[in-house]
Amino acid sequence: MNKHSMEDLVSLCKRRGFIFQSNEIYGGLQGLYDYGPLGVELKNNLKKAWWKSMIYERDDIEGLDTSILTNPLVLKYSGHEETFSDPLVDCRECNSRWRADHITDNKCPGCGSLDLTEPRPFNLMFKTNVGPVDDGESFAYLRPETAQNIFTNFKNVLDSTPHSLPFGIAQIGKAFRNEITPRNFIFRVREFEQMELEFFVKPGEDDDWHEKWTEIRIKWWEDQGISRENIELYHVPGEELAHYSKATVDIMYKYPHGLEELEGIANRTDFDLGSHTKNQEDLDIKASVKENKRSNAKLAIQDLESKNWVVPYVIEPSAGVDRGVLAILNEAYRVESLEGGKERTVLGLKPHISPIKIAVIPLKRNDENIVAKSIELKSQLQKTIPGRVLLENTGNIGKSYRKHDEVGTPACITVDFQTIDDNTVTVRDRDTMEQKRVNLEEVSTFLTNNYFI
C-alpha cells in the first residue's frame, strides 16, 4: 500500500506548513516539533473529533483541563517516581546513549561497537524548579501522562457533576517524557499531546469494558481515515506491562518506519485511585501502594443500593495526538499519475480533518469584480463551513489546485467572469477533479451536503 517514505511526509509537512523542527534557527532541540499554520488546524480537528466522540456524543463522560506542573507526591504515589523509567545503555566507544530494548545484537546503533554498558533504569520525567528558591526541595514534575490529575480530581468531578458507575473523565493535553532516543519525526518526541479517557467501572466489569473500549477506539480511528488493514492489536505480555496495568492492548499502526503503538488501552484496575486515597483500610483496595499518609482524599464512590464504598476499576484508552497526526498523514498521502506523464500529490484527508475546508480562488487576481465577489463568498461561507475557508488570490488556478490537492482541501471554488454574469461558480472536487457549476445561492448547501455532513 504505502509506497512513500517518512521523508516524503516530512518534506510535505515542512513545505506546506504542517510541521517544523522546533527552535530550528538555533539548531533545533532534539525531540521537539512545532505545528505550522496547517498543522495546527489538522491537529485541532483531530482533537475536536475525539472530544466530540467522548463528551458530546455520550452522556457518561465529563471533560477536564488540568495543570501540567505536578506535585511530586502525586507522582510518588502513582508509582512514577520509582518505576517510570526505560533501560538505558551507554556506548563506551562513541559515548552515545540508547534504550536497551531498541538495540539489536548488542551493537551500538551509532557506531556498531559491542562495548556497551549494562542497562540501567533512566527515569523519563522532567523536573523543574517552582518558586524563587532553588533549594532542591521546591520542584515539580512536568506530567508524563495527563491521567494523574484526572485521578486527583475524581472527587471534585463527582461532587460537581454526579454520576454513577460506569462513567468517565476525559482530557486532552501536553505530556512530557525525557525519551532517551527521540526519533521518527513526531512519532517519539519529548513533548507531545495525549487524548486520555479514564473510564471508571465496577470491579468485575472491567474485562468487558476493556474489550468494548478497544472496539470503540478502533472504529474511531477508522472514522478519522485510518484503514483497518493498517492496524494490528498487540496484547502486551505480562513482563512488559506498566506498573499500574492488569492488561493492556495496544492499537498498533503500520507507520512508514514500522508497526508501532498509536494508542494504548490499559486496565489500570483500582491502582491509581487506591494509591491516592487516605485510610485505605476502610476500603477493599488491591492496589500495591498502601502507605499513603499524605492525601486527604477518599477516591471512592458509594454504591446506591448496598451503600458500600467502592473504589472503581479504570479502563484507560490513551491516544497520542502526534502519533495520530502522523498516521493520518501517512494514510492520506498519495501520488497519482496524470495524463501526459504528469503527477499530482494528494492528501486524501476526510473533510472534517482537512486543515482548509474550502479554498475560494478568483480566476484573475486583479479583476475588481471577481475579487470582490470572491471576498464576499469567502466571508459568507465562513459562517456555515465548520473550519477554515481560505481566499486563495494567487491568480494561478492550476498552481492553486495543486497546492490544495497537496494539503487536502476537499473542494476549491473558482470565481470567474461567468460568475459576474450568471451568479454561478465552479466547484472542483479534490479526489475526482470533477468540476461542477453551482449557483451562488446554493453553494453553501451544496458544500455542506457533499462534504460536511
Based on the shown chain and the rule CB under 6 A, indicate whether residue 198 belongs to the binding site for ligand ATP: no
Binding-site member from 41, 198, 272, 322 for ligand ATP (CB under 6 A): 322
- Per DSSP bridges, beta strands 85-90 and 97-99 are antiparallel
Scanning residues 262 to 291, which ones bind ligand ATP (CB under 6 A)? 262-264
Which residues within the stretch 160-179 sit at the binding site for ligand ATP (CB under 6 A)? 177, 179
Q: Which of 63, 321, 315, 312 is nearest to 214 (CA)?
A: 315
Considering only the C-alpha atoms of the chain, give the largest distance between any 2 of them, rounded to a whole number of Å: 81
Q: Is 194 in the site for ligand ATP (CB under 6 A)?
A: yes
> Shortest approach of ligand ATP to residue 326 CB, angstroms?
9
* Minimum separation from the CB atom of position 154 to ligand ATP (A): 20
Phi, psi of 111 (to 5 degrees): -115, -5
Long-range contacts of 327-330 (CB under 8 A, 24+ apart): 327/221, 327/226, 327/230, 327/253, 327/255, 327/262, 328/42, 328/46, 328/224, 328/225, 328/226, 328/353, 329/9, 329/12, 329/13, 329/18, 329/42, 330/2, 330/4, 330/9, 330/255, 330/256
- The residue at minimum Cβ distance from ligand ATP is 320
Evaluate the omega torsion of the peptide bond into residue 119 and state whether it is cis, within 30 degrees of 0.
Answer: no
Shortest reach from residue 11's CB to ligand ATP, in Å: 21
Selected from 49, 189, 347, 381, the binder of ligand ATP by CB under 6 A is 189
Closer of 200 and 255 to ligand ATP (Cβ): 255
Whichever of 86 and 392 has its CB closer to ligand ATP, that residue is 86
Please state whether beta strands 435-439 and 309-310 pair in parallel, antiparallel, or not at all (unpaired).
unpaired
3-class SS at 173? Answer: strand
Stretch that binds ligand ATP, among 128-136, 156-164, 314-322, 432-440 (CB under 6 A): 314-322
CB of 323 to ligand ATP, least distance (A): 4
# chain residues binding ligand ATP, by CB under 6 A: 15
Q: Could you tell me which stretch among 47-55, 68-76, 189-197, 227-235 binds ligand ATP (CB under 6 A)? A: 189-197
Residue (181 or 345) nearer to ligand ATP, CB: 181
Residue numbers at the binding site for ligand ATP (CB under 6 A) = 177, 179, 188-189, 192, 194, 261-264, 318-320, 322-323
